[in-house]
Structure 1
Amino acid sequence: MITSEEKKAIRRELGAQYSPAILAHLNSKKILNTKGQPLSPQVVQNIVNGRYENLIVEEEIVTLIEEKKALRENAQMKKSKVLK
């Protein structure tokens, strides 16, 4: 289950409107609910707020954050090379 500190980290990395980014990532990975449908924004918000536990979605959120950080670091390195 996601704690309040983890929620703050998610919001810091993905922004206050984190649901669309998470949903897009989950849809690209074809992660669906038990009925075989895409997860709703409300379900994602409930998982991030710690109301529901879904280990698969929580793991994918961590993966998404890692990807975003790697992209940001890569962009920073490229910018620093250009500015030298």
Structure 2
Amino acid sequence: MGFTDMQFTLAVEPFDPGSDGTFLLNTLMWCVTAAGIAGIIIIGTLMALQLHRGEIGEKAQLMRGLFFVLLACVVATSAGPIISFLGPFTL
């Protein structure tokens, strides 16, 4: 019996995390939303403090921080729909 006579079959089943994976994605989505809201509130507070002190020149740095907070929120909240669009988790 040679190597060419042997037949190999691989039993590959798609990985389905079930309700645990959905729960994890939902929990992460809520945590990212809460962190994004906290980041926007913190940046708004810093802008108000600088306006009160008369330091107007630092707005560019705060706007950069606001941009990164909003960008992180968009990327993190779009992870769930992207994963659901790709279908089941197959390895």
User: Which structure is richer in relative contact order (CA contacts within 8 A, separation 6 or more)?
Assistant: 2
TM-score relative to the length of structure 2: 0.35
TM-score relative to the length of structure 1: 0.38
Between Structure 1 and Structure 2, which shows a larger proportion of helix residues? 2
